[in-house]
Amino acid sequence: MDIILFGPPGAGKGTQAKRLTGALNLPQISTGDMMRAERASGSDLGKQFDDYMSKGLLVPDELVLALFGKRLAQPDAAKGAILDGFPRTVAQAEALDTLLESLGRRIDTVVSMEVSLDEMIERVVLRRTCEGCGQIYHLRYNPPPSQGACGKCGGKLVQRADDTEEVVRKRYEEYLTKTAPILEHYRKKGVVKSVDGLGGLDEVEGRIKASIAPPPPDQT
């Protein structure tokens, strides 16, 4: 099963993708996390990613597709994956469809997580991420047990450099112009499910699970 968690920055894609991995027994593939890891390694590729990420701009499709293709070929993604932050352009979506088709797979569900612009900015600005394990906290709604340290691994909690209001507004603009059109692409295939992204973590997780559950068998 291949699922896309779709939505603007701060919709909760990363948080919910991590929660769903256990229940669905599928890996999370986050191109953003992969790019941050590459950047942290200090490689030339990581520096190229950072040129775009720090400005709130999308990384060019060729670079993203090379990164994603390698990840999808890993054995843990052989039966499917939860895609978080990918695809982000219609060209990426088309390349993804072709890649999956070559594996005899297809996108089963695009879960479109809906949140308002104000809510999104508040979430992103108050988001803190663990440098060690990537766990995500929100200072108000999902605070870490101790300030500055991850409750899962004890790693240092940091604010992502692109989680400032100014960069988030740019990211949102990129989302509206380049990413949102993907929904139409998948609506035509009949696989888009809209989910209210507002509410507690368990509540939103429940809505996502309900949206990806197969329809009940026809009992007539």
Of 16, 31, 109, 112, the one binding ligand AMP by CB under 6 A = 31
Of 7, 8, 32, 197, the one binding ligand AMP by CB under 6 A = 32
DSSP state of 146: B
Q: How far is CA 28 from CA 76, 126, 180, 217, in A?
A: 10, 23, 21, 28
- The sheet carrying 127-130 orders its strands as 136-138, 127-130, 157-158
Is 157 an interacting residue with respect to ligand AMP (CB under 6 A)? no
Is 97 an interacting residue with respect to ligand AMP (CB under 6 A)? no
Is 39 an interacting residue with respect to ligand AMP (CB under 6 A)? no
DSSP state of 59: P
Is 58 an interacting residue with respect to ligand AMP (CB under 6 A)? yes
Interaction residues for ligand AMP, span 69-88 (CB under 6 A): 85-88
Return the SS3 of 112.
strand
Is 9 an interacting residue with respect to ligand AMP (CB under 6 A)? yes
The C-alpha atoms of residue 115 and residue 125 are separated, in whole angstroms, by 15
* Residue 25 structure tokens: 């027994």
Stretch of 29-37, 104-112, 113-121, 185-193 lying at the interface with ligand AMP (CB under 6 A): 29-37
Nearest-5° angle of CA 189, CA 194, CA 196?
170
- By beta carbon distance, the residue nearest ligand AMP is 32
Catalytic residues: 13, 88, 127, 160, 171
Is 48 an interacting residue with respect to ligand AMP (CB under 6 A)? no
Shortest separation between residue 48's beta carbon and ligand AMP, angstroms: 11
The C-alpha atoms of residue 31 and residue 87 are separated, in whole angstroms, by 9
- Which spans of this chain sit near ligand AMP (rule: CB under 6 A)? 9, 31-32, 35, 52-53, 56-59, 64, 85-88, 92, 162, 171
